[in-house]
């Protein structure tokens, strides 16, 4: 009897060891893949039927969440190469830095685009540095709940980030309205500072000059673009009520750690997982719903970077997006 029990225990121990070894190998393989995926950016191309009939298509390059440091040279080179797309408009929805050492690389990353019509808003990681954290913090509803309150948070050179983009004539939409010109046609703009850090203050409506030089949206009004870093519903609702045709946001990293076929597990804001996973959607309705036919379009970029302390992505490649604005049918 004792011999039988000993044999059984030995067999169980061997099976347990095999299970542990297999799980360790799978985990190591998944981690290795996630490290590689975070370094393989992709260009996403989307069409947005947001212009009035007869308007010529307009291309818009959306950059988000670069999270640059002095060790992200490959990301800088990849972004610079996007200049060959020759977009009509460039928008940057913030979180440009992880550390102050990313300021000089940011200048080189944006340099090929600063002569183009552009606009920007700031993100939390334009104001404060990234803190050390575990990759699993992104599986929490609010990753800040996992942060060590005793860690030192350093201020970032946000004025330099702002001035760099202003130097090219880009519209600073920090709780502000503005406009830009595309091939002689004007486009209305509105934006807010980072809602995730409660910096947003939606700007009051301004008068619209009644001339014929506006690029027209599908409702016949001047086309209006809305920029925000984190896609919180309070701001999206304000933009929808303000007749914004297309809102552009980042912040979510597309979920960063996703499941194939399921998409984002968390969004790091109060926007639903479906809209973050789809990237292009409508708000407050959804694409395909009859009542949403004239609702605002929303693009949430998965962004290009990660925290340097959690440099992983799974089933969610880093990205920039070239959106082609076309007439609605």
Q: Which single residue is written with the structure tokens 């209006």?
A: 224
Q: Does position 69 have pLDDT exceeding 90, yes or no? A: yes
Reduced to 3 states, what is the DSSP secondary structure of residue 322? strand
Domain ranges for the chain, please list them. 1-37, 43-327
Task: Tell me the C-alpha distance between 3 and 327, whole Å.
Answer: 80
- Torsion of the alpha carbons at 123, 127, 128 and 134, rounded to the nearest 10: 10
Q: What is the CATH topology of the domain spanning 43-327?
A: Purple Acid Phosphatase; chain A, domain 2 (3.60.21)
* Contact in structure between 248 and 62 (CB atoms under 8 Å): yes
**Angle, helix 73-81 to helix 103-110, in steps of 10 degrees:** 20
- Between 139 and 180, name the one with better pLDDT: 180
Task: Tell me the C-alpha distance between 276 and 252, whole Å.
Answer: 7
Q: Among residues of the chain, what percentage have pLDDT more than 90?
A: 75
Task: Tell me the C-alpha distance between 311 and 37, whole Å.
Answer: 9
For 99, residues 6+ apart whose C-beta sits below 8 A from its C-beta are 69, 70, 129, 130, 154, 156, 308
Q: Does position 96 have pLDDT exceeding 60, yes or no? A: yes
pLDDT digits (tens, 9 = 90+) for 4-18: 566 776 666 566 555
- The H-assigned helical ranges of 247-318 are 273-278
**From residue 101, how far is each of 38, 106, 156, 157, 183 by CA, in Å?**
20, 9, 9, 10, 36
pLDDT digits (tens, 9 = 90+) for 114-149: 999 999 999 999 999 988 765 555 555 555 554 455
**From residue 58, how far is each of 173, 256, 289, 323, 327 by CA, in Å?**
20, 29, 26, 8, 10
What is the maximum alpha-carbon separation in the chain?
A: 97
Cα-Cα end-to-end distance for the chain = 81
pLDDT digits (tens, 9 = 90+) for 235-276: 999 999 999 999 999 999 999 999 998 999 999 999 999 999
Residues in the chain: 329
Both tokens assigned to 265: 């597990």
Helix (H), strand (E) at residue 30: helix 2-37
Long-range contact set of residues 211-216: C-beta below 8 Å, sequence gap at least 24: 213/184, 213/185, 213/186, 214/185, 214/186, 214/187, 214/188, 215/51, 215/55, 215/58, 215/182, 215/185, 215/186, 215/187, 216/51, 216/52, 216/55
């Amino acid at each position: 009897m004792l011999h039988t029990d000993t044999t059984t225990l030995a067999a169980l121990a061997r099976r347990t060891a095999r299970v542990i070894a297999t799980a360790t190998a799978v985990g190591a393989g998944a981690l290795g893949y996630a490290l590689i995926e975070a370094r393989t950016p992709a260009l996403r191309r989307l069409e947005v039927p947001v212009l009035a009939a007869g308007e010529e298509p307009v291309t818009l390059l959306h950059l988000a969440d670069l999270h640059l440091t002095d060790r992200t040279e490959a990301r800088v080179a990849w972004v610079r190469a996007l200049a060959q797309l020759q977009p009509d408009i460039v928008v940057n929805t913030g979180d440009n830095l992880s550390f102050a050492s990313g300021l000089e690389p940011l200048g080189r990353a944006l340099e090929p685009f600063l002569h183009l019509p552009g606009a920007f808003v700031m993100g939390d990681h334009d104001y404060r540095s990234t803190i050390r954290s575990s990759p699993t913090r992104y599986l929490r509803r609010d990753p800040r709940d996992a942060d060590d309150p005793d860690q030192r948070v350093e201020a970032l050179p946000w004025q330099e980030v702002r001035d760099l983009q202003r130097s090219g004539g880009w519209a600073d939409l920090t709780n502000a309205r503005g406009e830009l010109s595309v091939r002689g046609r004007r486009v209305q703009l509105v934006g807010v500072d980072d809602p995730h850090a409660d910096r947003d203050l939606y700007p009051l409506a301004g008068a619209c000059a009644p001339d014929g030089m506006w690029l027209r949206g599908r409702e016949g009004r001047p086309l209006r673009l809305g920029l925000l870093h984190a896609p919180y519903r309070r701001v999206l609702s304000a933009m929808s009520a303000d007749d914004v045709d297309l809102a552009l946001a980042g912040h979510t990293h597309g979920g960063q750690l996703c499941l194939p076929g399921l998409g984002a597990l968390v969004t790091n804001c109060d926007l639903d997982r479906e809209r973050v996973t789809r990237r292009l959607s409508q708000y407050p309705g959804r694409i395909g719903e009859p009542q949403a036919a004239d609702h605002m379009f929303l693009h949430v970029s998965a962004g290009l970077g990660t925290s340097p302390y959690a440099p992983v992505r799974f089933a969610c490649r880093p990205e920039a997006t070239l959106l082609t604005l076309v007439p609605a049918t």
